[in-house]
Amino acid sequence: MTAFERPLKSTILQRLRFPSKIKGILIGIAITNLGILLGYLLYTPDTAELTISILAILLIMLIIINKPLNGVLALLMLTPFIETWINIPMGAGLPDMSFSRFTVAFLAIFVLARAAIGKFHFAKASLVEICIIATTLGIMVSAPLSVRPKGVLQMAITMHFIPLSLYFFAKNLVRNRDDLHKLFLVITVLGFVAASYAIYEQTTGNILFLEKGESLSYAQHATGYYGHGLRIIRGLLGSSANFGRVLACTIPITFYLFFENKSASRKVLLMGMIAVQSYGIFLTYNRTSWYSLLISLSIIQFFYPQFRKVYLVIVLIAAVVLWATWDQVNESTVVQERVNSKVSTLEGRDARWQAGYNMWRAKPIRGWGFGRYQTESGRFRTDGDTRNFQAIENDYLHILVGSGLLGFLPYLLFLLIPLLNSLRLFFRT
């Protein structure tokens, strides 16, 4: 039998057979060369950044290929830490490939490819998925009117489409209770890490995990205060308000895992996480987050009977402690600055909101474009002042003024539809 008659694979393998010593030498040479190449690439900051970005992208690809749900979990957990640092330039005129953009794009391609060969089946599409696309398009339509059109297009993808698309991936990749608990556990860990960092920054004053391009000296100089020594957190998530939003969501989920776990050791661990997250949200000094958490816990106890007893105990203990220490609490800096101070005017926000509402009424459909509030709000004020506001300080009005009803209505529907569906399922069962 000639070499041409043998199977191609066996012929190639036979010709590639080496003595074990030679194999070891070749492997050693290959590893050494790879190490030298990696060291060379990491030698300068520019090549080091690109090399690390490529390695991170390759790693997330392997995670997604192994199990797509783990890719979603990695995206949730890692994005706050590495989003602005993992970046592959795509050339002039194209948005750079950040960690979250690549992960979502590769997830979509991989899931679609598996569906095409019959190895994956999508859940039935609903109005929520349509709202995700409509919100993104509604914001993009306002780009030509905006101060920075290209920035608005990137913002529509990074700040709206990618976060909202996580709902789509979770809906299709979470298939059982174990998957759900795994997702909730990652969210809980993220909340615990965020709270731990908030405690660290408030305690030490050190700022970590800044966005790329923002210097530590500038961040420390620009760090603001709510009042007498009440710091605004700057690192990791960017602001105290962002920390408050995250923790207001993660604390109820941590309570759910606490009641669902039967292991005593896990219950102790989760209770510790709840305590850390509760202290963390307190240190944000963000009233909206405090109120949101209280409202959510008050609502949950009506729908989740296991939580009701704990909720009543928490309320009772809090009431007794407040009654016993009311004089000290009422005179504390936190209460004076964040509860009693300027509550009637919401620190001037009512004027900002009124100006934003008046701007929306002038252009209700397409909006003014993002960034126009900072240059046009002065002439829509009703308090006698004509200076422009720098921020509207309300997410809903921000979208409404920037993109009008085209961007706001689908965004509002995206938030309301899952809530209404949950209520419908609850009362049906």
Nearest CA to 139 among 153, 158, 151?
153
pLDDT of residue 273: 95
pLDDT of residue 276: 94
CA–CA dist 47, 26 (Å, integer): 27
Do the Cβ atoms of 60 and 71 come closer than 8 Å? Answer: yes
CA–CA dist 59, 46 (Å, integer): 20
CA–CA dist 349, 360 (Å, integer): 16
Q: Tokens 């060369």 correspond to what residue?
A: 33
pLDDT of residue 172: 92
Give pTM, 2 decimals. 0.80
pLDDT of residue 345: 47
Give Rg (Cα) of the chain.
26
Helix crossing, 395-428 with 162-173: angle to 10°? Answer: 20
Angle 304-310-313 (CA atoms, 0-180°, nearest 5)?
Answer: 140
Do the Cβ atoms of 247 and 195 come closer than 8 Å? Answer: yes
Do the Cβ atoms of 366 and 146 come closer than 8 Å? Answer: no
Burial of 263 (0-12, 13-18, 19+ CB in 10 A): exposed
H helix runs in 156-239, sequence order: 162-173, 177-204, 216-222
Mean pLDDT per 10-residue run, the chain (429 residues)?
Answer: 51 54 69 66 69 85 92 91 79 75 91 90 87 92 89 86 89 91 94 94 84 60 56 83 91 92 90 93 85 87 83 82 62 57 58 91 92 90 86 89 93 90 81
- Torsion, Cα 256 261 263 269, to 10 degrees, reads -30
pLDDT of residue 425: 81
CA–CA dist 255, 236 (Å, integer): 24
pLDDT of residue 344: 44
CA–CA dist 248, 294 (Å, integer): 9
pLDDT of residue 257: 93
Six-digit token pair at 373? 């509030």
Q: Identify the three-state secondary structure at position 205.
A: coil
Six-digit token pair at 214? 């923002």
Six-digit token pair at 30? 């290959």
